A and B are shown apart, each in its own frame.
Chain A
Amino acid sequence: MNLDWDFMIESLPLYGDAMWLTVRLAFISILFSLMIGLLFSLVLFYKVKGISGAIRAYVELSRNTPLLVQLFFLYYGLPKVGLQMSEFTCAIVGMTFLGGSYMTEAFRSGIEAVGQSQLESGLSIGLSKIQLARYVILPQALAISIPSLGANAIFLLKETSIVGAIALMDLMNVAKDLIGMHYKTAESLLLLVLAYLLLVLPLSLLLSWVERKVRHAEFGN
């Protein structure tokens, strides 16, 4: 196959901008998702009346619907009831809505994996519920949760590929435009795949390294 290298080099800045958009979007929404996940999983752990049920409903709703539909609802549906957001804000809200529930589940399963005897020991030396969470549960739960938190981060990074559907100039949109305007299909698609490899592969390798470390810390092998 003969590739038009000049065309590819000329399009690099466009892909660069789109990658930067993806990185910002992923970073902000992963950060927000982590905060939501930590907060909500603690609410679930303390079984706060009223709120716990609402959080469980949110988790199920968010996990069982596609991001594309969530984004369309936020972007096209909500302005009709007077809630208008910019494309970028909309993407952040959508990604956080989706990511928050995945992170909540990851933290929750980490908290549940902390042994019952740990809780009882903490209570028996007179720790308050807050102290118990702060000194006993969270440090252990975080270590246990790291692999699934990382997997969720990668999942969210990949999900950013959908934001082009609400008119953000992301990698998918750049590739589609280039194909539409110049018919350089192979070149545009190759750059698209390379861009995602460049974004996701380092994170994926980092995650498997961290996972090995965590396993070592947990089981010593």
Chain B
Amino acid sequence: MPNLGIEVLFEGSNFQRLLGGLLVTIEISFLSIIIGTLLGIVMGLLRTFDSKALRLVLRLYLEAFRIIPILVWLYVAHFSFSPLLQIDISGEATAILVFSLWGAAEIGDIVRGALESMPKHQVESGQALGLSSGQLYRYILIPQAVRRMLPGSINLATRMVKTTSLVVLIGVIEVVKIGQQIIELGVIKAPNSSFWVYGFIFILYFLVCYPLSKLSKRFEHKWGN
């Protein structure tokens, strides 16, 4: 059994540093979800338009993110943006860009699904009652759309938080990287530290993601058929 190892987590500022690293992860996911949602709403609306060409392009955009692993997109962005644009883009900015574009594609699909699954008679019944179009959106369409979108969107958020762990591979200093630094520094004094540090990071991710997926499940139960 591992002896004398767990204290590495509480030595010096290690604990705070790891939490700070987690915060970088959360910050990247949070920003990406916000930007992705805004772009995704536009994209979802565009995908309900009649134009065949527009639909095809947006569909290809979505499939590109579904078929090619996100890590590949991170590599592509990491290795090509800075030289291509002749400016220095940080790993963090690259990550936010890639995750936002991915989020936009997925949220776009969720929005499209919600819009298309809305029964036509809901609008017609509203109009028959004499609701103005503002009221129609306010009382009928938006509440139903949100119900249909929320479980999927929260699920996406969980996936994003998990996937942001990959940004360490393009050199962003987040929780995994800080863990590695702590392990390397203490390699002589605490040779078992990798067990505890990675175990702790494992639990940290769980503590962030579990409430999110519970929330998503609850909404699904509450509003599902």
Chain A positions within 8 Å of B, measured between CB atoms, are 60-61, 63-70, 72-73, 76-78, 80-81, 158-159, 161-162, 164-165, 172, 175-176, 179, 185-186, 189, 192-193, 196-197, 200-201, 204
Let me know if B69 is at the binding interface, CB within 8 A: yes
30 pairs of residues in contact across A and B, judged by CB atoms under 8 Å: A60-B213, A64-B158, A64-B210, A64-B213, A65-B162, A65-B205, A66-B165, A68-B165, A69-B201, A69-B205, A70-B202, A72-B194, A72-B198, A72-B201, A73-B195, A73-B202, A76-B183, A77-B199, A78-B195, A80-B195, A81-B2, A81-B195, A161-B72, A162-B166, A164-B169, A172-B72, A196-B67, A197-B68, A200-B67, A200-B68
Q: Which residues of chain B are within 8 angstroms of A66 by Cβ–Cβ distance?
A: 162-163, 165-166, 205
Taking a contact as CB atoms under 8 Å apart, the answer to whether A68 and B176 are in contact is yes
Q: Which residues of chain B are within 8 angstroms of A158 by Cβ–Cβ distance?
A: 68-69
Q: A68-B168, A175-B75 are in contact. Are A185 and B80 (CB under 8 A)?
A: yes
Taking a contact as CB atoms under 8 Å apart, the answer to whether A77 and B205 are in contact is no
Q: How far is the CA of A211 from the CA of B19 in the complex (A)?
A: 43
Q: Which residues of chain A are within 8 angstroms of B75 by Cβ–Cβ distance?
A: 172, 175-176, 189, 192
Q: How far is the CA of A192 from the CA of B80 in the complex (A)?
A: 13
Top 6 A-B pairs, shortest CB-CB distance: A64-B209, A66-B165, A161-B69, A80-B195, A77-B195, A66-B162
Q: A63-B213, A80-B194, A81-B1 are in contact. Are A162 and B71 (CB under 8 A)?
A: yes
Taking a contact as CB atoms under 8 Å apart, the answer to whether B162 and A77 are in contact is no
Taking a contact as CB atoms under 8 Å apart, the answer to whether B72 and A193 are in contact is yes
With both beta carbons as reference points, the residue of chain B lying nearest to A188 in the complex is identified as B79
Let me know if B45 is at the binding interface, CB within 8 A: no
With both beta carbons as reference points, the residue of chain B lying nearest to A201 in the complex is identified as B67
Give the A-B pair count, Cβ closer than 8 A. 108
Q: Which residues of chain A are within 8 angstroms of B69 by Cβ–Cβ distance?
A: 158-159, 161, 196
Number of B residues near A (Cβ < 8 Å) is: 39
Q: Give residues of chain B (190-225) contacting chain A, Cβ–Cβ below 8 Å.
A: 191-192, 194-199, 201-202, 205-206, 209-210, 213
With both beta carbons as reference points, the residue of chain A lying nearest to B212 in the complex is identified as A64
Q: How far is the CA of A139 from the CA of B221 in the complex (A)?
A: 26
With both beta carbons as reference points, the residue of chain A lying nearest to B83 in the complex is identified as A185
Report B224 CB to chain A, min CB distance, Å.
12
Q: A70-B202, A80-B192 are in contact. Are A204 and B165 (CB under 8 A)?
A: no
Q: Give residues of chain B (113-159) contacting chain A, Cβ–Cβ below 8 Å.
A: 158
With both beta carbons as reference points, the residue of chain A lying nearest to B175 in the complex is identified as A69
Main SS class of interface, A: helix
Q: How far is the CA of A78 from the CA of B197 in the complex (A)?
A: 11
Q: Which residues of chain B are within 8 angstroms of A68 by Cβ–Cβ distance?
A: 165-166, 168-169, 176
Q: How far is the CA of A161 from the CA of B67 in the complex (A)?
A: 12
Q: Which residues of chain B are within 8 angstroms of A81 by Cβ–Cβ distance?
A: 1-2, 192, 195
Partner of B202 from A69, A179, A196 at Cβ < 8 Å:
A69
Q: Which residues of chain B are within 8 angstroms of A76 by Cβ–Cβ distance?
A: 183, 194, 198
Report A182 CB to chain B, min CB distance, Å.
13
Taking a contact as CB atoms under 8 Å apart, the answer to whether B213 and A196 are in contact is no
Report A53 CB to chain B, min CB distance, Å.
16
Taking a contact as CB atoms under 8 Å apart, the answer to whether B198 and A193 are in contact is no
Taking a contact as CB atoms under 8 Å apart, the answer to whether A161 and B71 are in contact is yes
Q: How far is the CA of A69 from the CA of B72 in the complex (A)?
A: 18
Report A48 CB to chain B, min CB distance, Å.
22
Taking a contact as CB atoms under 8 Å apart, the answer to whether A77 and B194 are in contact is yes
Q: How far is the CA of A186 from the CA of B213 in the complex (A)?
A: 38
Taking a contact as CB atoms under 8 Å apart, the answer to whether A172 and B71 are in contact is yes
Report B190 CB to chain A, min CB distance, Å.
10
